[in-house]
Amino acid sequence: MEDYKNLEKTIGYRYVGSEIPRNSHTPGTWNCPEGHPVSARYSDLKYHGGVCAICAGVVPKTAEDYQKLEERTGYKYLGLEIPTNTKTKGSWLCPTAHPVRITFNELDQRNSACRICFGRDKTLEDYEKVGASRGLMLREKRAPALAKTKVWWDCIATDGAHSLLASFNYLDQKPSKTACAQCAKTWAPRKTIDDYRALEAKTGYKLRGEMPERTHDKADWWCPEGHPTSASYHTLNGNKVACPSCHSKTSTPEKLIFDLVQSEFLPDVISQARVLPGRQMKFDIYSPSQKIAIEVDGTYWHQRPEAEARDTAKNEAAAQQGVKLIRISVGPRHRYSGTKARERFLSEVRSILTSHHLHATFPKP
């Protein structure tokens, strides 16, 4: 009995049974702090706390409870029977006559639960309006339960020949006048030869073929360095990379070495410099004033047989032009992530440059 008294003080329940059960797993009669009768086991109350169904709101509601909720919220219950508990969804009609599926507890706590009234879901009229503004027509004359659900639309301009699978939210947020991907290309404003000439003056590219019918189609160009390439009008007009030969990827060690040389040794260095006349050779790093070039040789590429011949040809061409060529080999033993790893790598590069009689103009403090 002493254990029961201690539990009463702990959780606020009061044991009202006529006798103490034989063990802690046998249900007994209790009163919750609000005075509601509860049949519960000692072990449940001790380890799980209060279990009063009335206080928890899960006890079945009566028709009178539903009527009071209708009067307070303005909703109308459409079900033929009262659910067995308050967590079972029922059919309701919101004050603006939209059907809603919701539980008694949810409506009791929110006072309103209509997704259409709150703008989260849309009516058929909303679908027809957004479709007309985008040149589309809803295929099935029925609005989905959720505005994010994808449905089929037919293109009005092509009398349904083009179709699109999209949600209301996607069309409502799309800024273009038409959402039909197939029609968008044909409806895009056509460019004239004057537009292409203006683009040539802007980018330095030269059109080397016929002008395409659509601005999304690729055309043949000469890049400013004389490389043949293909790109659409929009690609060049958006200042995007169009010539893969001119915009080759620069490795991490090459970027680190370039920054080091520029900041501490040769301020006028340039990257990927093509200074050998009549040749397609480039130096990774080059100083025009000092005629010093630096090649960053990755072991993966420069161990190949064809690389040796290419490197020899570049060494001879540099010597003929009076360019001092310094080669720095990098490989798997080097690490570039982390401050300490980068500093160890740059310290090694400094030593190599110093051994070639390069002196730091702006030494690291």
Q: What is the pLDDT of residues 158-191, one digit of tens each?
A: 777 788 888 888 887 765 555 676 666 544 456 8
- Mean of the per-residue pLDDT values of the chain: 80
Q: Does a structural domain hold residue 246?
A: no
Average pLDDT over residues 244-261: 77
Label the pairing between strands 136-138 and 99-102: unpaired
Q: For residue 141, what pLDDT is reported?
A: 85
Average pLDDT over residues 68-96: 85
Q: CATH code at 314?
A: 3.40.960.10
Q: Are residues 217 and 293 in the same domain?
A: no
Q: Is the pLDDT of residue 343 over 80?
A: yes
Q: Are residues 167 and 199 in the same domain?
A: no
Q: Are residues 41 and 136 in the same domain?
A: no
Q: Are residues 34 and 79 in the same domain?
A: no
Q: Are residues 81 and 6 in the same domain?
A: no
Q: What is the pLDDT of residues 219-248, one digit of tens each?
A: 888 887 777 778 888 778 776 555 665 655
Q: pTM for the whole thing?
A: 0.36
Q: Does a structural domain hold residue 151?
A: yes
Q: For residue 325, what pLDDT is reported?
A: 93
Q: For residue 228, what pLDDT is reported?
A: 75
Q: Does a structural domain hold residue 117?
A: no
Q: Find the domain containing 40 and state its range.
A: 2-56
Sign of the alpha-carbon torsion through 269, 273, 274, 280: positive
Q: For residue 40, what pLDDT is reported?
A: 83
Q: For residue 188, what pLDDT is reported?
A: 47
Q: Does a structural domain hold residue 362?
A: no
Q: Does a structural domain hold residue 283?
A: yes
Q: Are residues 256 and 351 in the same domain?
A: yes
Let me know: does 263 contact 362? Beta carbons within 8 Å.
Answer: yes
Q: Does a structural domain hold residue 38?
A: yes
pLDDT band at 321 (very low <50, low <70, confident <90, very high): confident
Q: Are residues 327 and 261 in the same domain?
A: yes
Q: Is the pLDDT of residue 364 over 50?
A: no
Q: For residue 361, what pLDDT is reported?
A: 60
Q: Is the pLDDT of residue 153 over 90?
A: no
Of 56, 75, 91, the domain-final residue: 56
Q: Is the pLDDT of residue 299 over 80?
A: no
